Structure 1
Amino acid sequence: MFGHATSRNETGAALALLDDFRDRVAARTDLLAAAHSMANWDHASFSGDELCLAVTQIEHTRRFLDAASVQVLAELDSRGFTDSEHGMRTGAWLARESGLSNPGAKSRVRTANKLRMHFPKVAEALRNGQISYEHAAAITSAANPRITNQIADISDQILNNITGTTYEKWKQQLGAVAELLDQQGGHRPGDDIADNTLRMHRGLDNTLFINAQLTGIHALSVEHTLNSQADQLFNQHSKDNELSNDLPTPNRKTLLALALSNLAHEHTANNSNTTNTVGHGSGIELAITINNTDTQLDLSKLTDHNNQPLSAELASYITCNPTIYTLLTTNNATTLHLTRTQRLANKAQRTALAHRDGGCVFPGCTNPPHWTDAHHVKHWNNGGTTDLSNLASLCRYHHMVTHRTGWTMSITPDCYFTWMTPTGTTLHSQRHQRQQPP
C-alpha cells in the first residue's frame, strides 16, 4: 500500500514536470512566433506616433529578454555544462552558437555572473524593466574586485540616479563614484601599471578594433596628443573641403582615429630617417608570391602578416613605396637564397624631394617633408621609375587620397602635379606651401 502510494506520487510529480516542460516549450514557441511576427510588420503603414510607440515597446521588451538571458547564462556557467559537454567555456560557446563576437559574449557572461553573485538589486531592476542591460553592464564593469562590495552597498542610490538622467551623464557619475571609492581604499589610479590596458583584434576587410584604458599621466598624455593631432587634421580637411567637395571634413571620432594612425606613421618615418637606409613609409610587412613566369606584380596575391588578402585600393597604396625583400624559393617553397633589395627613393633622393617640394605637394597641406612618402606618379607596378621626375612628396592622408578609386594624378614637364577628382575637378599642386603658378 505504501509502495503503491509512493509510485502514484512519483507518477504525479513526473506528469507535473512534463506539463511544466510543455508549458515552457509552448511559451518559448509563442515568444519566438511573436518576435518573428513583429519583425515582419508592414512598418511603412505605421504613423509616426505608432512607430514611436512600437520602438519604445520593443526596447522595453528587450529589457525582459536581457534579464532572462543573464539569468540563464549565470546558471549555465555555474554548472560548467558547456565545458563538460561541449569542451568550451560558456562565453566561447555562446559566441559560437549565437554568432556574437568572442569579446562580446564573454563580457555578457561576466556581467551575468556579477549580477548573480554581487548585485541582486541591479538584477531585480533589470527583471522589472526599470533599467536597461547597458546600465547593468556599466555597474558591474565599474565594480572592480577592490570595490565590488562598496558598489553593491550603494546600488540603491546608483539605481535611483538613473531616473531623469541621460545614460552618458549617469555613467560619468558612476565612474567618478567608483574612482573615489578606489582612492579611499588606498588605490591610486596610475600607481598600478596593470590598470593601463589595450586590446586589439582584427575584423574583416583589414579592420582593426581597439579597446583601451589609460590612467594617470598616460591618460593625460595620450588625450592631449590625440586631440592636438585631430585639431591639425580638422584644419587640413577644412582647407581641402574648400578646394573640392570630394574631400568632406570627417567627424571628430574619425579625426581622432586618423590622428592615431598619423602618429604611428610619424613614428615609423622618424625611425626610418635615423637609419642608413630608408624604410617603407607605412611600416607594414606584406607578402606576395611571384613565379618566374610573372611579368608584373599581381596585387590580388598580396596578403598581410595574417595571410589575409588586401583590397585592391589598399594594396595599391601600400605597395606604392615598398621596401622589397626578395625570398627566392623552389616550387615547393624551399628557400634557395635570401637578399635585401631596396626599391625606394634613396636618402639622397628624399633630400632632393624635400628641397624641391618642401613637404606635401597637395594644395593647402602643411605637413613637412619628414611626414611625407615619395609617391610614384606612374606607379611602380605599371613600369614607373624611382626618379625625381616621377616622384612627389605626399603626406600619408593625401597619399591615400591619390590612390582612391576615381582619382588620377599627373605630372607636368617642370615637375608640378595635377589631380582630377571623381567629379571632374582639377586640383593643382604646391611647392613649399605655395600654390602652383598659372
Structure 2
Amino acid sequence: MVAPSVSAMTTDGAGTTTGVVTPVAVTALVPAGALADGVTVLTAAVDVLLAVPLWQTPDAGIREAVVELERQAARLEAVRLRVLAAADERRVGTVAGAPSTADWLVGATTTRAEHARRRVDLAVALEADLAATGSALADGKVTGDQAGVVHTVMTRLPAALDAATRADAEAFLLEQAVHLDPRRLAQVGRRLAPRLDVGTGDDLAWTEAGQERRRQLRCTQTDDGTWLLSGQLDPVAGTTLMTALEPLAAPRPAKDGAPDLRPHPRRLADALLQLCEGHLAGATGTSAPRARLVVTVPLATLLDPAAPGADPATLPGGHPLSAEQTTLLACDAHLVPVLMDDDRPLDVGRSVYSWPDKVRTAVRLRDRTCTWGRCTRPAEWGHIHHLTPWSKGGTTAERNAACLCGHHHRLVHREGWRGELIGAQVVWHPPDGGPPLRPPPPWTRALDRVVDRWRARTRPHARRAAA
C-alpha cells in the first residue's frame, strides 16, 4: 500500500506559492485504523488549505489550484461513495434502526431525502456494474455529477442488452465526459438508449407515458395575493410551452435608447400572461405567425420509426422521442424542410440581410447551443451571427451562420473574433492569431460505432432465432 501524503500550499515573502508534501506513513494501521487515519489526515490538509493567505498567492497559483482542487474533489467523491457502498453492504442503517441506508443517511447528515437514494444507488453501482466509471472518478477524470449522469443513462438501457454492448456504452459515455459538462453529457445519453432498443421502442414509449401521467401544475395564492406556480411537464409539453412563450418573451425594442431591462424569468412571466390574455380575447396576442413545434426526424426514421437502432426523432433540445410519439406528431405536422447538405444548402445569398425562418431553424437545429466553446445556453435563446459580415460580402446562408448567446455575440463583435464552420461545428479564432477556441468534438460517429457493434453481435442471434 502506498502511504498517503498531505500537500500544503505555502507562500514566501515574494508571494510565490510552493508545495510542501509531508508523507504520512499509515501502512502499519492497515486494515483496522486506515480509514479513520485517512480522514484525520484529510481534515488536517483542509485546515492547512483554509489557512493559506490567498491574497498573497499569485494569479497563476490560484488558477492551478482551482483546477487541481476540482480534480481532487472528484477523487474525494469517489472515496465518499466507496465508503457509502460499504455502509450499505454492511446494513449500517438497519443496525442503527433506520429502514434503509438512504433513510439513515438523511437522519445522520443533512442530505436531502430525494438525493440520498440516488447517492446510495450510485455508490452500489460503482462497486459493481459501473466499475469503469468508479475508476474514472477515483482518477479525477470525471466529476461526481458526470458519474451520476452515466449511472442514470446506464440504468435506462434495455435490460436485454448483452454485457459487451453495455461495456461499450459505458466506455462511450466516459469518453464524452472528458469534453462535455453534465448537462450536455445527459443530452448525449438520451440519444443512446433509444438506439440500443432491442424491441420496437416500447421502453421509451412507456417512459413517455409515465412522464405524461406525472404532468401537473399547481397555482397557489399567498396571503399577500401573489401567486406561486410550480409543476412538472413531460418533454413534449414543456417544449410546446417554451415554443409558445419564447417569441413573446423576446426583449422589447429599445425606446429612446433605453433597452429592455427585464430579466429572462420576468419576460417569461409576462409572456405567459400575454398568451392567456390573447386566448381569452380570442386572438393570438401577437401579429407573428402561430408558434410551431419543431421536431427533427431523420428520413430513415420517418420511413420506419420502429427499426431497431434507428436514430430517433428529437426535440430541439436533443430529447429523443419514441416511435409512437413520432408517428403521433407526424399525423398532424407542418413539415419544414431543413436540408443542410452540400447539394441543397439553405441559402438566400445577398438578396436579404435578416435571417429567414427556415434558415434560422436550420442553424439552431445544427448548433443546438451557443457555439462559443463550452457555453450551454440553448440556441433558441440566442442570436444568429454572420460568420463573414454582410458588410464584407457575407451571404445570408446556413453555412455562413452561427448561434451565439447575447453575451458572446457582443464579445465577438467587440473583440473581433472570427468564426469558421468546419463540418457541422463552428470554430472561433481569436483576433491575436492565437490557438482557436474549439468546441467539444462531435460524438455522433462514436455513438454510431457503439450501435454498429451491437447490431453485429445481435444479427447472428436474430438469424438463428428466425430459423
Indicate the structure whose relative CO is greater, using CA pairs within 8 Å and at least 6 residues apart.
Answer: 2
Q: TM-score, normalised by structure 2?
A: 0.44
Which protein shows a greater Rg?
1
Higher helix proportion (structure 1 or 2): 1
